[in-house]
Chain A
Amino acid sequence: MIKVTDLHKKIGQVQALNGLSFEAHNGTITGLLGPNGAGKTTCLRTLFGLLKADSGSAEIDSLNVVTQSSQAKQQLGLFPDPFGLYERLTPREYVQFFAELNGMAGKEAKQATDEVLSLLKMQDIADRRCQGFSQGQRMKTALAQAIVHKPTNIVLDEPTRGLDVMSTRLLRDLLLMLKQQGHCVLFSSHVMQEVAALCDQVVVMAAGRVVAQGSPAELCLRTGKTSLEDAFISLIGTDEGIAA
């Protein structure tokens, strides 16, 4: 479970987060939807402890990300944008490295790596260097890295950006699987269809705060629109920075 309470963060002259609060629950897929510049990435970076909030707090499984950062981070899997692969390492080395960083001992990490590689059907590329991988292979490697240490919470930053149709479908299946397994999945996106298709919960952000929260159906209901897209535009007051 991820809980964000009244986050404020000013970056330069911009108030990137302005009293942001929401919750993402286990067994659900929560979409963080907002136009470019709404504060989605800032929010996620605050969650990982990369940025320090001016005020407010973020908790992972009730662990404060600032004061209990190590434990909190171990319960967090990160699928970043861009992926941040090591081109000279193989997926196996890469994934195992992150498993060990998250506190798994050598043997345990190796086993977890094997598991996640087979789960994602990556055996064929597991021992090739990442250099020259396709987008889909890269995405899989990044995801394997995010979930290898079996965190309860998985955070994805614009996960479908740059992915082809096949990869997007694959990712969607994987996220649904994670949801089935009871993980808390939180992803940020500015792609409407994706959110509509996947999310149980949608958190709509604009200008550093939550403007609406609920299931896609609830949001449509609340705004009196038939499509989430219309609902979204009406919620934030503009269609700028939104992809259909």
Chain B
Amino acid sequence: MMTIFRTLFRKELLDASRDKRSVMAGLYYAVGTPLLMCLLFSVLLKQLSSSDELLISIDNANAAPALVHYLANKDIRQGEGAEVKAIRLVVSTDFQQQLQQGRPATVIIDADRADDQLQTAIRRLERELGRYNSEIATLRLMARGIDPQLMQPIDVQMQDQATPDSRGGTFLGIASLSIILTLFYAAMNLAIDTSAGERERNSLTLLLSQPLSSLQLVLAKIAAIACFSMLGLVVILLVSKFTYGMVPWQQLGFNISLDADFMLFTLLVGLPLALLSASLQVMVSFVAKSFKEAQTYVTMVLLVPVALSMVTTYNIAPDHLQWLPIAAQQQAMIGFLKGSAIAMPQLLVSSLLTLAIFAACSYASSRLLKSEKVVFGL
């Protein structure tokens, strides 16, 4: 039994390793994704970090010189040209008069809140206006001999349990998403090639005519594919460690660092997923009638892990989803990166579930290979 499996496995590995195009396609993903992410994140960080000068247009600035000066000291200035954000601060004509009389003086922020690129800038402007408000209010109370602290009946002290490692939020999610999906994308071409491809090249019938069981054949194929998935995982972890190290996360007050412990953890958690990925894709490829059809089906089926990973990334998964494969593993990875407690029950259950799906898919594939329709692609 084992000898046959070993022989099959060795041949699958050898054959797959010489399938440069499929292997490289998987590795392109593993190498390219972190690079792309790194680029994307850097651009995004630039947009998010607000320490730079913010140029807006201010209407009727003369009516509120003190306010304009205050904002300028916070690097929010009236500007001209392309750099100016589409935010207009309109100072009411009676601003000073209202202020002097102790009535609220109106300023209007004219901007499109739905514009994602403006949101940070708008929030920053609002924050500084708020500070100006409280500074003037403080002086007004002091000028009346009243302790300004009276305006703050409750002293709300936030004690944030987050650490620099845990603040990455969505970024952590996206990073772990790209890592976990490697297990699927690195396997995709190989899985199709070794199943639908093997059938199309007519070697499948020859193999099945040999003294072996279809389960042995299926398991050997899955094992070989899983090996390449894991290779992809190793590659993306190494590349990610390198590239993410170059993104200046600290400017946003958090850090994403993939250390050796995380890598080992991910490899361990990823192993069952690699088996699931391979068995699922092999099964789907066998169900398909041709190579092309297999590509279509596998692409469609891969939307499921992508979706599971997405809802985890954006933290919109309902609680019970967190017990499912991929979601739970990714959650655990994020937890590990954040340095927070890992939900062990979820991870264990989902890992078992992952293995169960792997077993089911493997068995189903082996049954498929007993079907004349499948074997001969009828």
Contacts and interface: CB of A to CB of B under 8 A. Distances in A.
A and B bound?
Answer: yes
Contacts of A28: none
Contacts of A73: 209-211
Nearest to A79: B206
Interface stretch (B2-10, B120-128, B161-169, B225-233): B2-10
B19 A74 contact: no
B15 A49 contact: no
Contact of B4 (A11, A45, A101): A101
A50 B8 contact: no
Nearest to A155: B209
Interface residues of A, number: 33
B206 A70 contact: no
B205 interface: yes
Contacts of B375: 50
A23 interface: no
B201 A80 contact: no
Contacts of A103: 211
Nearest to B203: A84
A100 B15 contact: no
Q: Which of B201, B210, B212 counts the most A-chain CB atoms under 10 A from its CB?
A: B210
B18 interface: yes
A172 to B, nearest CB: 23
A73 B208 CA distance: 10
A232 interface: no
A48 B211 CA distance: 9
A78 B206 contact: yes
B7 A80 contact: no
B14 interface: yes
B206 A97 contact: no
B202 interface: yes
Interface string B184-225: 000000000000000001111111111110000000000000
A51 interface: yes
Contacts of A80: 202, 205-206, 209
Contact of B14 (A11, A45, A93, A105): A93
B209 A49 contact: yes
16 contacts: A45-B205, A50-B205, A50-B372, A69-B211, A73-B211, A74-B211, A80-B202, A80-B205, A80-B206, A82-B202, A84-B205, A86-B11, A87-B201, A89-B18, A97-B11, A101-B4
